Structure 1
Amino acid sequence: MTVPRSTLRLQLHRGFTFDDALAHVDYFAALGVSHLYLSPITASVPGSLHGYDTIDYARVNPELGGEAALLRLADAVHARQMGLIADIVPNHMGIAGGHNGWWLDILEWGRHGTYARHFDIDWHSPDPALRGKVLAPCLGAPYGQALSAGRITLSFDAGQGRFFACYAEHRFPICPIDYPQILRAATQTAPAALAALADRFDGLTTQPEHRERAQAALEAMRAFAAEHGAKPFDAALEAYSPGTPASRERLHRLLERQFFRLAWWRTAADEVNWRRFFDIGTLAAVRTERAEVFDAVHALVLRLFAQGVIDGVRVDHVDGLVDPREYCQRLREKLAEREAERPPQLDRSRAYVVVEKILARGEALPADWGVDGTTGYDFMSDVGALLHDPQGEAALTAAWAELSGSRETFADAAREARRKILAENLSAELDRAARGLHRIARENPSTRDFTFSAIRRAVSELAVHFPVYRMYPAAGVRTAADDAYFRQALNAARSALAHGDHDVLAFVDASLGGQREPGAADGAPPSRERRTAATLFAQLTAPLAAKAIEDTTFYRYGRLLSRNEVGADPSEFALSVDGFHEANLERARRFPYALVATATHDHKRGEDVRARLAVLSEIADEWTAKLRAWSTLNAPHRRASSSPSPIGLSTPCTPLPGPAPDWAPGPAAEAMLYQTLVGAWPYELDHADADAVQGFAERVAQWQLKAAREAKRQTSWHAPDEAYEAASRAFLFDILAPQRREGFLQELSSFVARVERAGAINSLLQTILRMTSPGVPDLYQGAELWDFSLVDPDNRRPVDFGRRSAWLVDTPPSEQLHNWRDGRVKLGIVHRALTLRAVSPALFLEGSYIPLTVSGTRARHAIAFARQHGDAYAIVIATRLSASLLPESGDLPLVDPSAWEDTSIELPAALAGRALFDCLSPAARKADQAGRVYLREALSALPVALLVEEGVPVTAQ
């Protein structure tokens, strides 16, 4: 099996292609990673910066250099004994801009199209206007307005020989059965030629047996256009011009006959009749559960695996699929079938497969999926929580309640957000799930009077209270794990619903895989209708959780933003050392090859932003006092959020009482802004450097706008309040203006200096834990130096790999501690740890994980564990919760050795009296005869240590 020792995630796009990655392969190899982990490589919407909007599964993205460039990169990494892992997107495709051939086929031919069953479309919509049609919610205004304004037009593409309805960048193919009428509208200017073309299309239907004739007619028209150009068709287009009432009506009637219904984008939430990715109207869900669709989606990936180009895959958004268990098992089976085709030097190696999956605390990834684990959000949450001091929770909770004007918990805020998302963003998906159950109810006399509205209420409450992303029924029946979570939601829903709806709720419970169908024999599988209902419910709760929590509540609830991260639950403020050990032991037992990450392309804040913000939990009283002081200091710069004045002329105002004052940015947003400024302030930023502060402010302003719209309170993506947004931006730039360099800017800079050393220690702690904990460490591009990025697109800025390469040296990281602010000490720790993993791979991939006892005066300020494989050991020791231990006058992120006093680590008995060497520092440490190592010695050069026995190579060979 190909198990990576470590991976490095690269975000590919037209500005960073396969050849750009190729230029840095020597650096990646020298750093010590074994595999490059590539963002999606299939063809995506032109200009895409992320690749998750695939338009053609069969082609390597030409904007990345195409397959030839991918092969060049593969050859280069293989020559350095490295490999490639590819990100795949089996759940959805991009449909914007008329680039997706599968989707265009559906728009052109409807449910008789070749690819009609490739997408999850409800062709039998309860809305008569949508039966047999696909809703196309792309218009920026109601349909009638867009049509009257002339924004919807008929065009002819001479290169394709086809007519299209066009709106902005969108193109919708006209069904060829309407071509005769269009062409004959131009017979006055070119009667013979166009009439002959029209004759070719006469009598066509959408039935498959007419498709060959239709293609021949289209080819004839393309040939005619190639010879004569588009001008002969101008008269036909003029007949359907929106410029006159008569021609506009003709265009309207033509559009009404098509298999798409152009609509205002706002209609999507209520009426969309095809499954989307979350609530994104440009990403359409693919029916990968169908064998022919699965094969089409994976043909390229399977071929690249068979050829030895890639060694495995990361499956994006596995929770969106109909049956993740069945999908993963099928993927594993298909990959296994191709193993024998791989090059001989790969020795029939088994594919590495991980899935993007959010796990709640205590939720287990099912063992029967046949995957190697998740992409690491669970570890990111664990290590993030470990950095927090539980003693600061009460003070920070009280301060947030005071500043935000609300005492709601995170759970309260999440439920409120779930209700909002269901009502405003996923109403169509809720309707679809309820209709599936309503159809079941109508089939039985005892339930046929349960109304659609009552069932919808019950489903809504279940979804609002569902504690995990989704359930995974086996053969349509809830598993024991599913049932435990379902019961939590069921009890909460029962409390929320009126008593009259309890019978309906019981029916919903039974129908969603809860019990045998009435009249069914023992052991009989659920009917197709019940399996479909369970699927629709699962495909409702997953996007609801993501949109309501990650993309809404994380931007509303700001007790401490370091816990508002993908995969984390902000209700869980901190994790004990024992809790962290338990999570590592569980991963080692169940999924020893899962990815472990501390940064991803989806993170809300860079790993070092979170590490610094975690320090605030250690100085909660000091921080809350600072928040109040800054709020008072900057009150004169607040703006009336409804002011129509330009940014520079907005009228300052004083804060108003209550939770929703009419000033920008508002108390909750202002409190979160201060955390962002503290957390993301770069080490090298001088508060007196006006240009540098301006650049920083622009980055934060980008985050501020996204945060405000995601919060969906004063403004949103769907209904932007430009006055509020402008006023909020003005507040930010006012408080960071050059004239504040002796005021707030000085205050901010001084406070960052107060917490930056403890933040750096946290950063190095999570770095060494990621490198040495059970699993495969994943490094997000560029995060080997300090990562003070914010949410995308900020976390996808260009990476200076040249600087990183120049700074990569074989000297001990401890020698870089004196210039720690440039990040080279972090780079050195990553490099040394990866080198050790390369020379002792079994120690970390297969070795035992042994929690070590820390005892003594400062025991709560350290964590330690051992990795063991046979006679080989590695001892990891790291500083935590360091703010109270650091000397006020010092400049290094290092606890003075004397401060550790008698604190020591109890080593495994086999190491008693044996000399140990610190990979990160040249000093040797020797365990005493009792098998103890004292932290005053082990952590004298760096805040972290990685001890091995002498003789183990720790530099590049």
Structure 2
Amino acid sequence: MAVPASTYRVQLRPEFTFADAAGLAAYLRDLGIGALYASPVLDAAPGSTHGYDVVDTTRARPALGGEDARRELAEVLKRSGLGLVVDIVPNHMSVEVPKVNRWWWDVLRHGRDSEFAGYFDVDWDRGPLLLPVLGDDDAVAELVVEDDELVYYDHRFPIAPGTGGAAPREVHERQHYRLVGWRRGNAELTYRRFFDITTLAAVRVEDPKVFAETHGEVLRWVADGDVTGLRVDHPDGLADPGGYFQRLRENAPGAWIVAEKILHPGEPLPQSWPVDGTTGYDALREIAGVFLDPAAEPAFTALAAELGLETGYHAVETEARRLVTDRILVAEVRRIAALLRGVDADAARAAVAETMVAFPVYRSYLPEGEAHWAAAIAAARRTRPDLEAALEALDARVRAEPDGELATRIQQTSGMVVAKGTEDTTFYRYTRFAALNEVGGNPDRFGLDVEEFHRLAASREAGHPAAMTTLTTHDTKRSEDTRARMAVLAEVPGEFADAVRRWSARRGIDEPSLNLLAWQTLVATWPIEPDRLRDYLDKAAKEAKVRTSWTDHDDEFEADVAAWPEDVLGDAELTADVEAFAGRITGPGWSNSLGQKLVQLTAPGVPDVYQGTELWDFSLVDPDNRRPVDYGARRAILARIADGEQPAVDASGAAKLLVTHKALRLRRDRPALFAGYRPLRAEGSAAAHVLAYTRSADLVVAVTRLPVGLEAGGGWGDTVLPLADGRWTDVVTGREIGTRPRLSELFDRYPVALLVRGDA
């Protein structure tokens, strides 16, 4: 199997094409990477900046260079000894521009008689396809007929054969679809979508024919050896994820396959999935967590309460999920409830919604995940005893037919409720300590102790040693270095609380959760350009849906938020105070960054490096994390490191590239060193400030944690790291190390060490 030593994620887009990716091959080889990991490469909607809005699964995206450029990229990577991992999107396709999706265009033209009608998950029994694209229902009067198409401004739709030759409104009434006001989509949509995005229509890959049509081209690339791995986007949206992965594995037996699956703490990956593991959000939660000081939790809870935030996490989460079921995914809830025949419609809808609100995980995989289903039903019964009869009927029918339509649809939709309610709403409302608010994270769990980290790392090595691990992705709420610096706040909770009080009194935001998030973000990304911060806060405010949202705007509030960055940075006294505070946490943040990076690169799993993060990267949520990367600067630093330079830990970030390079090269060139996992414990007064482990008898990793507390306690003092007998070398510095090194000496240049016994 083509398991890479590591991967390097690039965001392909019209401004960064197959040819540009090919130009990175030599750099990635020299850095120590095992495979290039690309965002979706099939043809996408016009102008797409991310590629997840696929319109044609049968060809490489022309805007990236098309088939010839794709083949050239594959050949360049092969010559460089690199694999190619491709991100695939089986759950949905873009229908925003109907004409560029020939399957959708044919469905609109011919309705149920289209040869592609079964490709999409459409509720045909509810009449014509509902397309929520108009400003409002009355805008149907603005339709015109042009070139045998119905036209609404920039939107064009096909006319069924024999239905033209009349006024536009009359022609519209003859079609297999109905154009309606965009606000009707959430409640009345007649096709399954991706989350709440009506321009992404769900695809029925559970149908073998549809699977073959949507995967044929990518599987040809796998068979030809051009693609060595597949990252599968959003499997929780599929009707039968286990069956899908079994079919995918049968058709790509030698490929490395990882699933974008978010696991709740303690939740196992379904055993029936023949995949190598997840895309690493579980590892992110664990690695970031071990660099947090849990003792700070009461102080941050008190600050949040003082500022007027709700501090009960589950209360916020429940409210946010209920908002999703009651206002955003209304059409989906209604479609599921309609399958609960013999139950009052209102009670059925309430029972379905309450069950999905109560899910302890993203979805169950019945019958395999029966315990999670049972927990959701039990929680719903406690919350809504008045729905006992409806919940009992729902539970009985789902258990009786775990593969039936009712069970399938509620499983598909529960993940949407959790993702929209938790990740996209709660994480912007419950801002007590934002470093915890990460994809796959649990803001109610304040950090992770060292022993728990060891247990989970050993479990990954035993169960899924080829799973991907990550610290930053295109979906993370903030980059790894932003998160690492934010973690320092947990070591100075009192000082930060005092600062927030001062700053808020001078220029706060009149919404407590956004105000606290803004100050955390400002110091964690300092210095940040005002326009980047403005765009982030605008998105955060709209995702939180407290004072404004994407669809219902509070213009006065949005204007105040938009003015905040310039107001703060234009106030010299306030800026000086913020800058001084940010300066005090910058160094410890660098220590955290280097520590968590070395752990991710050396712990069990296949580490992924997100584009550009081999240097410091203080990005925020997309699109901020999709900004262009300066590879010229990175090549120059790597060249100096190859010549023997050992850069200082400073604002250049060169020290991070050094650590990344040394760990990746060792992992690629000496894979036998990375077998097994055992905790290694330091001895001495500061032993709690080191995380150390062995991957084999000849490899030891040691990193600093909680650096502010370490300094406050007087430093390393007498603390030592006991090693096995032999000649040890720190790969990062090249220095020879004794068998009982004092940590004050081991970490005198860098807060991390990568030790190899014998010939390094």
TM-score over 0.5 (shorter chain): yes
Unaligned runs of at least 5 residues, structure 2: none
SS in 2 for 1:867: strand
Partner of residue 417 from structure 1, selected from 310, 317, 320: 320
Map residues 186-265 of structure 1 onto 2, 5 A cutoff.
250-265=167-182
Corresponding residue number in structure 2 for 1:340: none
Alpha carbons 2:491, 2:708 under 8 Å: kept: yes
Q: Which deviations, in whole Å up to 9, do the C-alpha atoms of 1:703-761 show, x marking residues without a partner?
A: 01100110111111111222211121123311111xx22x1110111001010011100
Corresponding residue number in structure 1 for 2:553: 720
SS in 2 for 1:436: coil
User: Shift of residue 362 of structure 1?
Assistant: 0.3
User: Shift of residue 483 of structure 1?
Assistant: 2.3
Partner of residue 787 from structure 1, selected from 592, 617, 627: 617
CA RMSD after TM alignment: 1.6
SS in 2 for 1:369: coil
Corresponding residue number in structure 1 for 2:634: 804
Alpha carbons 2:309, 2:512 under 8 Å: kept: no
Map residues 649-688 of structure 1 onto 2, 5 A cutoff.
664-682=509-527
Alpha carbons 2:93, 2:202 under 8 Å: kept: yes
Corresponding residue number in structure 2 for 1:215: none
User: Shift of residue 813 of structure 1?
Assistant: 11
Deviates more, 1:935-944 or 1:416-425: 935-944
Corresponding residue number in structure 1 for 2:140: 147
Structure 1 distance, partners of 2:560, 2:644, is 47
Alpha carbons 2:434, 2:517 under 8 Å: kept: yes
SS in 1 for 2:14: coil
Is 1:378 aligned to 2:282, yes or no? Answer: yes
SS in 1 for 2:206: coil
SS in 2 for 1:461: helix
Is 1:610 aligned to 2:604, yes or no? Answer: no
Map residues 155-174 of structure 1 onto 2, 5 A cutoff.
155-156=146-147, 163-174=148-159
Rg (Cα) greater in structure: 1
Corresponding residue number in structure 1 for 2:117: 116
Partner of residue 764 from structure 1, selected from 575, 591, 594: 594
Structure 2 distance, partners of 1:110, 1:830, is 54
User: Shift of residue 508 of structure 1?
Assistant: 1.1
Structure 2 vs 1, CA of residues 598 and 110 (structure 1 numbering), >3 Å: closer, same or farther?
same
Partner of residue 719 from structure 2, selected from 903, 917, 920: 903
Q: Which deviations, in whole Å up to 9, do the C-alpha atoms of 1:788-833 show, x marking residues without a partner?
A: 0011110000001111011103648995453521000000100000
**Amino acid corresponding to residue 551 of structure 2 in structure 1:** H
User: Shift of residue 489 of structure 1?
Assistant: 1.7
Map residues 307-386 of structure 1 onto 2, 5 A cutoff.
307-336=224-253, 350-386=254-290
**Amino acid corresponding to residue 332 of structure 1 in structure 2:** R
Structure 2 vs 1, CA of residues 538 and 547 (structure 1 numbering), >3 Å: closer, same or farther?
same
SS in 1 for 2:272: helix
SS in 2 for 1:36: strand
Q: Which deviations, in whole Å up to 9, do the C-alpha atoms of 1:526-577 show, x marking residues without a partner?
A: 38xx611111111111111111111111111111111111111111111011
SS in 2 for 1:261: strand
Corresponding residue number in structure 2 for 1:839: 669
Structure 2 distance, partners of 1:360, 1:855, is 33
Partner of residue 497 from structure 1, selected from 356, 362, 384: 384
Q: Which deviations, in whole Å up to 9, do the C-alpha atoms of 1:648-697 show, x marking residues without a partner?
A: xxxxxxxxxxxxxxxx5422211111111011114xxxxxxxxxx6xx01
**Amino acid corresponding to residue 697 of structure 1 in structure 2:** P
**Amino acid corresponding to residue 462 of structure 1 in structure 2:** T
**Amino acid corresponding to residue 511 of structure 1 in structure 2:** R
Corresponding residue number in structure 2 for 1:107: 108
**Amino acid corresponding to residue 312 of structure 1 in structure 2:** G
Corresponding residue number in structure 1 for 2:212: 295
SS in 2 for 1:402: helix
Alpha carbons 1:814, 1:941 under 8 Å: kept: no
Corresponding residue number in structure 2 for 1:95: 95
Deviates more, 1:697-706 or 1:408-417: 408-417
Corresponding residue number in structure 2 for 1:245: none
SS in 1 for 2:673: helix
Structure 1 distance, partners of 2:265, 2:721, is 29
Corresponding residue number in structure 1 for 2:370: 483
Corresponding residue number in structure 2 for 1:710: 543
Alpha carbons 2:279, 2:470 under 8 Å: kept: yes
**Amino acid corresponding to residue 34 of structure 1 in structure 2:** G
Is 1:25 aligned to 2:25, yes or no? Answer: yes
Corresponding residue number in structure 2 for 1:573: 446
Alpha carbons 1:462, 1:493 under 8 Å: kept: yes
**Amino acid corresponding to residue 671 of structure 1 in structure 2:** L
Corresponding residue number in structure 2 for 1:437: 340
Alpha carbons 2:90, 2:203 under 8 Å: kept: yes
Corresponding residue number in structure 1 for 2:693: 865
Structure 2 distance, partners of 1:321, 1:718, is 28
Corresponding residue number in structure 2 for 1:59: 59
User: Could you state the TM-score of these two structures normalised by the residue count of structure 2?
Assistant: 0.98
User: Shift of residue 511 of structure 1?
Assistant: 1.3
User: Shift of residue 933 of structure 1?
Assistant: 3.6
**Amino acid corresponding to residue 140 of structure 2 in structure 1:** L
Alpha carbons 2:3, 2:466 under 8 Å: kept: yes
Structure 2 distance, partners of 1:299, 1:359, is 29
Partner of residue 280 from structure 1, selected from 192, 197, 201: 197
Structure 2 distance, partners of 1:72, 1:814, is 34
Residue identity (%): 42
User: Shift of residue 354 of structure 1?
Assistant: 0.4
Alpha carbons 1:287, 1:293 under 8 Å: kept: yes
User: Shift of residue 253 of structure 1?
Assistant: 1.8
Partner of residue 305 from structure 2, selected from 401, 414, 438: 401
Is 1:584 aligned to 2:457, yes or no? Answer: yes
Structure 2 vs 1, CA of residues 814 and 790 (structure 1 numbering), >3 Å: closer, same or farther?
farther
Partner of residue 919 from structure 1, selected from 696, 720, 731: 731
Partner of residue 940 from structure 1, selected from 744, 748, 759: 748
Q: Which deviations, in whole Å up to 9, do the C-alpha atoms of 1:21-51 show, x marking residues without a partner?
A: 1122211111110100010010000110000
Structure 2 distance, partners of 1:34, 1:915, is 28
User: Shift of residue 491 of structure 1?
Assistant: 2.1
Corresponding residue number in structure 2 for 1:46: 46
Structure 1 distance, partners of 2:451, 2:236, is 30
Corresponding residue number in structure 2 for 1:178: 163
Alpha carbons 2:595, 2:752 under 8 Å: kept: yes
Structure 2 distance, partners of 1:925, 1:843, is 18
Corresponding residue number in structure 2 for 1:557: 430
Map residues 819-830 of structure 1 onto 2, 5 A cutoff.
820-830=650-660
Alpha carbons 1:367, 1:590 under 8 Å: kept: no
Structure 2 distance, partners of 1:543, 1:375, is 18
User: Shift of residue 124 of structure 1?
Assistant: 0.7
Structure 2 distance, partners of 1:900, 1:88, is 48
Structure 1 distance, partners of 2:226, 2:105, is 31
Corresponding residue number in structure 1 for 2:394: 508
User: Shift of residue 901 of structure 1?
Assistant: 1.4
User: Shift of residue 886 of structure 1?
Assistant: 3.5
Alpha carbons 1:809, 1:828 under 8 Å: kept: no
Alpha carbons 1:812, 1:922 under 8 Å: kept: no
**Amino acid corresponding to residue 863 of structure 1 in structure 2:** L
Structure 2 distance, partners of 1:65, 1:317, is 26
User: Shift of residue 941 of structure 1?
Assistant: 1.9
Structure 2 distance, partners of 1:809, 1:854, is 35
Structure 1 distance, partners of 2:4, 2:581, is 41
Structure 1 distance, partners of 2:28, 2:661, is 10
User: Shift of residue 590 of structure 1?
Assistant: 0.9
Deviates more, 1:372-381 or 1:712-721: 712-721
Alpha carbons 2:646, 2:733 under 8 Å: kept: no
SS in 1 for 2:124: coil
Partner of residue 131 from structure 2, selected from 125, 136, 150: 136
